[in-house]
Amino acid sequence: IHDYKEGTPEEKTYYIELWDVGGSVGSATSVKSTRAVFYNSLNGIILVHDLTNKKSSQNLYRWSLEALNRDVAPTGVLVTNGDYDREQFADNQIPLLVIGTKLDQIPETKRNEVLTRTAFLAEDFNAEEINLDCTNPRYLAAGSSNAVKLSRFFDKV
């Protein structure tokens, strides 16, 4: 349940349904066509990746293009050494949210490097970014910046 524009005269309650379509990058046509069923009439996309796994974040480009029906020529891995066409996301009207998990598993000495790299993902998608330490509930506590970003995302949806 989401209260759209909570606390304003325009407030309205919506039921939000979330689907986890899985991130298998197998090139099997059956896997892609099964996921495609969930892409019909989508209103927003939450892209979740593992901050401890660089390949996981690189695959976000491929998955988002697939969901946005721009995967016209499926050709294995879309991202190679960071090369991809940013323009593919320029005219996207579907709200996107990028969530990185396992922040707690990144050593303090490497956090800046990892978070700088993943910040470019959100920028490319024109999306809000949330990075979570899933062992600590304060990362999504009411009033936190992450909770505000999540609420803004659902308002757009």
d(CA 7, CA 127): 24
Q: Model confidence over 63-119: pLDDT tens digits?
A: 888 887 755 444 444 444 445 566 666 667 888 999 999 999 999 999 999 998 888
pLDDT of amino acid 80: 42
pLDDT of amino acid 92: 73
Other residues' Cβ atoms within 10 Å of the Cβ of residue 60: 25
Between 76 and 149, name the one with better pLDDT: 149
Mean pLDDT of 19-42: 70
Task: Provide the sign of the torsion angle of the four alpha carbons 46, 48, 51, 57, taken in this order.
Answer: negative
User: What mean pLDDT, rounded, does the chain reach?
Assistant: 80
Confidence of residue 24 (pLDDT cuts 50, 70, 90): low
Q: Are the beta carbons of 44 and 97 closer than 8 angstroms?
A: yes
Instruction: Determine the number of helices (DSSP H) and then strands (DSSP E) in the chain.
Output: 4, 5
Q: What is the CA radius of gyration of the chain?
A: 16
pLDDT of amino acid 70: 56
Question: What would the CATH number be for the domain defined by 43-156?
Answer: 3.40.50
> Which bin fits 100, alpha (ψ -120 to 50), beta or left (φ > 0)?
beta
pLDDT of amino acid 54: 87
pLDDT of amino acid 98: 93
CB under 8 Å to 104, separation ≥6 — which residues? 133, 134, 135, 136
pLDDT of amino acid 51: 94
Using alpha carbons, list the distances in angstroms from residue 112 to 30, 58, 108, 117: 39, 18, 8, 9
Mean pLDDT of 16-27: 72
Between 138 and 32, name the one with better pLDDT: 138
